[in-house]
Amino acid sequence: MKILVDADSCPRATREVVLRATQRTRIDAIFVANRPIPGLSGDTAVMELCPFREGAADDRIVELARPGDVAVTRDIPLACRLVEGSIRVIDDRGRVYTQENIREQRSRRDFMCGLAENGLIEGRIRTYGRRELKAFADSFDRILSQLIRENPSLGMSG
């Protein structure tokens, strides 16, 4: 079992939560991006650099993912692909994507993109602060705790 992180758009504070969790749980994390992201090293975390082409990091995450893994991404089309492969997916704001909600999330995203492309709404600037980070950390911790209960061999380090 591993944690896959779509690192290109993942806020630094979220990456730090994931890194601390990997140290605590000894679950490996793979940070995937098409550009180097500093500070992603250690005995439980690796950085995987992908070619600089559209969708390369997403394709690599899907290729690496196996049922039982956890993925962190805000990319809803990627989340959709992962959920279809029985991967647990969470975004950087703590929203967990499931078979039950991913289609609605995808439809909403596509609708909003269509409005923006036609100039009917302006692009949103979404802030990422303490509240969003706490929501992520709480949801992420719940997912990891559940996985550890389901797989006692994962254990926790001291």
Q: Where are the domains of the chain?
A: 2-150
Which CATH code is given to the segment(s) 2-150? 3.40.50
What DSSP element (H or E) covers 118?
Answer: none
Q: How far is CA 35 from the centre of its chain?
A: 17
- Check residue 49 and give its pLDDT: 94
Q: What is the pLDDT of residues 51-97, one digit of tens each?
A: 989 889 999 999 999 999 999 999 999 999 999 999 999 999 999 99
Is residue 29 within 8 Å of residue 97, measured between CB atoms? no
Closest CA to 80 of 93, 92, 64, 91: 91
Cα torsion 102, 8, 138, 130 to 10°: value is -120
Q: How far is CA 118 from the centre of its chain?
A: 29
Cα distance between residue 22 and residue 90, in whole Å? 16
Two tokens, residue 94: 């703590």
Residue with the two structure tokens 């950085």: 47
- Show pLDDT as tens, one digit a residue, over the chain (158 residues): 899 999 988 999 999 999 999 999 999 999 999 999 988 877 889 999 999 898 899 999 999 999 999 999 999 999 999 999 999 999 999 999 998 877 777 667 666 666 667 776 776 667 889 999 999 999 999 999 998 888 777 655 44
Biggest CA–CA distance in the chain, Å, is: 54
Cα distance between residue 105 and residue 127, in whole Å? 20
- Rounded to two decimals, the pTM is 0.86
3-state helix, strand, coil in the chain (%, to 5): 45, 15, 40
CA terminus-to-terminus distance, the chain: 20
Q: What contacts 152, CB < 8 A, 6 or more positions away?
A: none
- Check residue 104 and give its pLDDT: 74
